[in-house]
Amino acid sequence: MFKSMFDKLKKGLQKTKKNLIPFRGKIDESLFEDIEIALLKADVGVKATEEILDFLRKESKKRKIKEGEELKELLKEKLIEILKKCEGKLELGEEKPAVILFLGVNGSGKTTTIGKLAAQFTKEGKSVVLAAADTFRAAAIDQLEVWAERSGARIVKHSQGADPAAVVYDAVNSAKSRGDDIVLVDTAGRLHTKEHLMKELQKIKRTIQKLMPNQPVETILVLDGTIGQNSINQAKTFKEATDVTGIVITKLDGSAKGGALIPICQELCIPIKFIGVGEDIEDLQPFEAKAFVEALLE
Amino acid sequence: MFELLTEKFSNVVEKLKRVKKLDEKTIDEALKDIRRALLEADVNVEVVKQFLDDVKQKLVGQEVIKGLNAGETVIKLIYDELLNILGEEAPLEKAEKPPTIIMLVGLQGTGKTTTAGKLAKLLKSKGYAVGVASTDVRRPAAGRQLCTLAESIGVPCFIDESEKDAVKLTEKVIEEAKKSGLSHIILDTAGRLHIDEELMDELAKIKEKVHPTEILYVADAMQGQDAINTAEEFHNRLGLTGVILTKLDGDAKGGIALSVRKVLGVPIKFIGTGEKIEDFEQFHPDRIAQRILGLGDIQTLMEKMQAAIDEDKAQEMAKKVMSAEFTLDDLKEQLQMIRSLGPIENLLKMIPGVGAKIKDLKVDEKQFIKIEAIINSMTPEERANPHIINGSRKRRIARGSGTTIMDVNKLLKQYKEMKKMMKKIKKSGKMKLPFNMPKLPF
């Protein structure tokens, strides 16, 4: 699992090989500049990049580091230290069904993530229900239906334009009475700046809790790995509105590096549950700090 | 005055207030903060570097602009340069012989299909006979999504779900569409999560077959550093004629606009500003430039310049306010002025002494429209002498403005309070700029 995530990430990164940091040789100011540019290019952001560089400058002096390769190890160490805190696994709990709510802005890959996850769960022999609570986007229900067919999950849907909370109610209620294992709730993509839509999410959550007070066991924010500094705002706002318990970061198999995870992790400490490194079902993989950092710097 | 600028530029402004002429050191100081702002807006690192190197050349030796200090002058000049690069508003090209084929390309999830619908709606509202067609054979239900949209707009939609070859499908749907005698056909193409050969080949072949007049690249305004690489790839293979920026209704700064313009030289033609089908407009370079740099700051500068240049007008308004002659007409004028400057929330943040307190305030812009409607429904006499507005006048005003008597009462009460506040301020003598309203009426 580890190897394949790393390989896929690396494959994506090879496309941008010209951006690699020249760690060979002695440390000089231009190496620090190269590191700075590389981090900025990876979407790490100005603030986090400045902090990391400050650390490298001070620490390399303290440790009397002279060689570029050593500095690379130091940088890796630092990045892993930051991201290690955010390694997380999906927690399903004891109660059945386990309800998992998915949120995110438009186009971040919620439906696809749910589809892949549903396929992984059904493969493990679990019975999965998909709640088509994205009643806004034209054909969102169709798209989820295709995933239900592919994965063998059951889908609960209303028509387009229906009240999403009502869909969720039906899905959770029927899963409860039929004894299903997992309910995956697909919500409409929403920009985090739309307050009324954030309120709608809270309503969906309350609806779930009316039926099952301890659910949703996970509230997962799906972030697009190609998004820049705005993903920090996204994570902050969604967390404030709905108490996000985990992050899935998608689209990391291309040349974007998803470095925004670093400030997100530093500032918000939300566990990262999965990363998406490809279009196949098994390309949704657990997040590992070490592999992620290796891929970022290799 | 310095508290007017947001934290982002406060350093420059603080440090550089005494310089009279721009020298290299002054510029370098100022550029540091600007670099930060550009990077935070997701402008590509290399573009930032090149852009700043270029402007630096132009800035050395410039006089400090009247009414501004050195740091502010640099910001203003950079803003002008940004405007310059972002370019003129570029209209859609038309084919010599209809139909004009507009091909939308881009990665998955950027909003191509939604954009196809929005563009169709816009063209339809201008009286064109528009149709949409999908060539996406990959994504489940992509064609159906487009047709659902088309149906709601009332334009014909051409798909063929049985055809699995994108190029053949394109030929089919275009032929079909041509038969219907349309003036414009919008072609929604397949996206991928990332650039891949297969997709590029497919798109190149489609281009070859249908000779689109416009090939518009749909770009997500939230995209990070890698965005420009993707856009470049599309441009190299297809020869883009324009860009459409989507998802600008969020708080993303859309730095990609600058990257794209600078690297590809392709104009940005439209922007998507919301989820509704009509949330789509012609690109305005000034708005994006303000956004990229941090809107509040620039507008503050504009106002300050305005205040410096057009002192007379400002004085006149200030005098009016101080003498408590402030009528409902003046209130309306002020609201219009404010609204023409951009989103109210951003604007409010700049009002001295208010900015910090209203950090999380949400302003319902509809309130402004309501207030304007109410004032518009009053007679000139009523506007000048609000105290004559009695019960039956209120009923008439409410009916005329489509509001309730309660709304009218609320406005009148708030107006009264504003006047009271203004009297107080007059005594303390703090009022100078026309925008320094003590309390906005909502």
DSSP secondary structure string, A75-109? HHHHHHHHHHTTB------SSSSEEEEEE-STTSS
- Is residue B380 reached through a cis peptide bond, with omega within 30 degrees of 0 on the bond before it? no
Q: Which of B39, B109, B149 sits opposite A46 (nearest CB)?
A: B39
Q: Which of A145, A227, A250 sits opposite B223 (nearest CB)?
A: A227
Q: Which of A106, A143, A251 sits opposite B193 (nearest CB)?
A: A251
Q: Which of B361, B227, B260 is nearest to A251 (CA)?
A: B227
Q: Give yes or no for a contact between A290 and A80, defined as CB atoms under 8 angstroms apart.
A: yes
Q: Are A233 and B141 an interchain contact pair (Cβ–Cβ within 8 Å)?
A: no
* Contacts for B30 with CB less than 8 Å, ≥ 6 apart: B12, B16, B70, B71, B74, B75
Compute CA A3 distance to the chain's CA centroid, rounded to the nearest angstrom. Answer: 19
Q: Tell me which DSSP letter residue B65 carries.
A: P
> First-to-last CA distance in chain B?
26
* Contacts for B198 with CB less than 8 Å, ≥ 6 apart: none
Q: Which amino acid is at B106?
A: G
CA distance B15 to B425: 31
Nearest residue of chain A to residue B275 (CA atoms): A190
Give pLDDT, residue B140. 67
Task: Establish if B120 touches chain A: CB-CB under 8 angstroms.
Answer: no
* Contacts for B355 with CB less than 8 Å, ≥ 6 apart: B3, B348, B349
Task: Establish if B381 touches chain A: CB-CB under 8 angstroms.
Answer: no
A144-166: buried (b, 16+ CB within 10 Å) or exposed (e) per residue? bbebbeebebbbbbbebebebbe
Distance from CA of B44 to the nearest CA of A (A): 7
Q: Are B251 and A139 an interchain contact pair (Cβ–Cβ within 8 Å)?
A: no
Give pLDDT, residue A172. 94
- The mean per-residue pLDDT over the stretch A192-219 comes to 88
Q: Which of B113, B194, B247 sits opposite A191 (nearest CB)?
A: B247
Q: Are B193 and A254 an interchain contact pair (Cβ–Cβ within 8 Å)?
A: yes
Helices and strands: H and E segment counts in chain B: 19, 8
Question: Phi and psi (nearest 5°) for B280?
Answer: -155, 125
Q: Are A143 and B140 an interchain contact pair (Cβ–Cβ within 8 Å)?
A: yes
Instruction: Take residue B245 and report the two structure tokens written for it.
Output: 């920026």
CB-side exposure of A117: number of CA atoms within 13 Å? 30
Q: Which helix (H) or strand (E) holds B70?
A: helix B70-86
Instruction: Summarize pLDDT for A102-117 with one digit per residue, the tens.
Output: 999 888 889 999 999 9
Give pLDDT, residue B418. 76
CA distance A247 to A250: 10
Task: Establish if B142 touches chain A: CB-CB under 8 angstroms.
Answer: yes
Q: Which residues of B touch A105 (CB under 8 A)?
A: 222, 247, 250
Q: Which of B265, B212, B217, B220 is nearest to B243 (CA)?
A: B217
Residue A33: pLDDT over 60: yes
Residue A86: pLDDT over 50: yes
Nearest residue of chain A to residue B147 (CA atoms): A138
Give the 3-state secondary structure percentages of chain B, helix then strand then coil, rounded to 5: 55, 10, 35
Give pLDDT, residue A263. 93
Nearest residue of chain B to residue A254 (CA atoms): B194
Q: Is the dihedral of CA A187, A189, A191, A197 positive or negative?
A: negative
Q: Give yes or no for a contact between A213 and A72, defined as CB atoms under 8 angstroms apart.
A: no
Q: Tell me which DSSP letter residue A227 carries.
A: B
CA distance B429 to B411: 26
Q: Tell me which DSSP letter residue B63 carries.
A: B
Residues of chain A above pLDDT 70, percent: 93
CB-side exposure of A163: number of CA atoms within 13 Å? 7
**What residues are paired with B272 via a beta bridge?**
B280
- How sure is the predictor about A99, in pLDDT bands with cuts at 50, 70 and 90? very high
Interface test with B, best of A134, A230, A261 (most B CBs within 10 A): A230
Q: Which of B229, B230, B250 sits opposite A230 (nearest CB)?
A: B250
Q: Are A40 and B42 an interchain contact pair (Cβ–Cβ within 8 Å)?
A: no
- Which B residues 356-375 touch A at CB under 8 Å? 362
Q: Which residues of B touch A106 (CB under 8 A)?
A: 109, 111, 247, 275
**Between the CA of residue A197 and those of A80, A102, A224, B221, B358, what are the distances in Å?**
35, 14, 19, 20, 22
Nearest residue of chain A to residue B229 (CA atoms): A255
Cα dihedral B76, B78, B84, B85, rounded to 10, equals -150
Distance from CA of B193 to the nearest CA of A (A): 6
* Contacts for B213 with CB less than 8 Å, ≥ 6 apart: B93, B94, B95, B100, B101, B102, B241
Task: Establish if B276 touches chain A: CB-CB under 8 angstroms.
Answer: no
DSSP-derived secondary structure for B342-392: S-HHHHHTTSTTTTTTTTT----HHHHHHHHHHHHTS-HHHHH-GGG--HH
CA distance B16 to B156: 60
Q: Give yes or no for a contact between B182 and B130, defined as CB atoms under 8 angstroms apart.
A: yes
Q: Give yes or no for a contact between B432 and B318, defined as CB atoms under 8 angstroms apart.
A: yes
Q: Tell me which DSSP letter residue B5 carries.
A: S
Helix (H, G, I), strand (E, B) or coil at A155: strand
Residues of chain A above pLDDT 90, percent: 50
Nearest residue of chain A to residue B255 (CA atoms): A228
- Each of the 442 residues of chain B gets a pLDDT tens digit; together they read 223 344 556 556 556 656 677 788 878 888 888 888 889 889 999 899 989 988 888 888 788 887 777 777 887 888 888 888 888 778 889 888 888 999 999 988 788 999 999 999 999 999 999 999 998 887 767 788 899 899 999 999 988 878 888 888 888 888 888 888 899 999 999 887 777 888 899 999 999 999 999 999 999 999 999 889 899 999 999 999 999 999 887 778 888 898 999 899 999 999 998 878 888 888 888 878 877 877 555 555 666 666 555 555 556 656 665 665 677 887 777 676 666 555 555 555 544 334 444 445 556 667 778 888 899 899 988 888 888 999 999 999 999 998 899 889 988 888 888 777 777 666 655 444 333 333 333 3
Helix (H, G, I), strand (E, B) or coil at B176: helix
Q: Are B142 and A255 an interchain contact pair (Cβ–Cβ within 8 Å)?
A: no
Instruction: Summarize pLDDT for A130-162 with one digit per residue, the tens.
Output: 999 998 877 788 889 999 999 999 999 998 888
- Sheet containing A246-250: give its strands across: A154-156, A128-133, A182-187, A98-103, A218-224, A246-250, A272-276, A284-286
Q: Which of A41, A105, A253 sits opposite B194 (nearest CB)?
A: A253
- Is residue B140 reached through a cis peptide bond, with omega within 30 degrees of 0 on the bond before it? no
Nearest residue of chain A to residue B224 (CA atoms): A228
- Is residue B212 reached through a cis peptide bond, with omega within 30 degrees of 0 on the bond before it? no
Give pTM, 2 decimals: 0.73
Give pLDDT, residue B434. 38
- Sheet containing B214-220: give its strands across: B157-158, B130-134, B184-188, B100-105, B214-220, B242-246, B268-272, B280-282
> First-to-last CA distance in chain A?
19
Distance from CA of A224 to the nearest CA of B (A): 9
**What residues are paired with B280 via a beta bridge?**
B272
Q: Are A138 and B148 an interchain contact pair (Cβ–Cβ within 8 Å)?
A: yes
Q: Which of B6, B191, B170 is nearest to B104 (CA)?
A: B191
- Which B residues 12-71 touch A at CB under 8 Å? 36, 39-42, 44-45
- Which of these ranges, A46-60, A231-245, B348-362, has the smallest mean pLDDT? B348-362
Mean pLDDT of chain A: 87
Give pLDDT, residue B354. 43
Q: Are B111 and A193 an interchain contact pair (Cβ–Cβ within 8 Å)?
A: no
- The mean per-residue pLDDT over the stretch A247-268 comes to 88
CA distance B425 to B412: 20
Give pLDDT, residue B154. 94
CA distance A63 to A61: 5
- Which of these ranges, A236-240, A284-288, B161-165, B181-185, has the smallest mean pLDDT? B161-165
Helix (H, G, I), strand (E, B) or coil at B196: coil
Q: Which helix (H) or strand (E) holds B207?
A: helix B197-210
Q: Give yes or no for a contact between A180 and A127, defined as CB atoms under 8 angstroms apart.
A: yes
Q: Are A254 and B223 an interchain contact pair (Cβ–Cβ within 8 Å)?
A: no
Residue A257: pLDDT over 70: yes
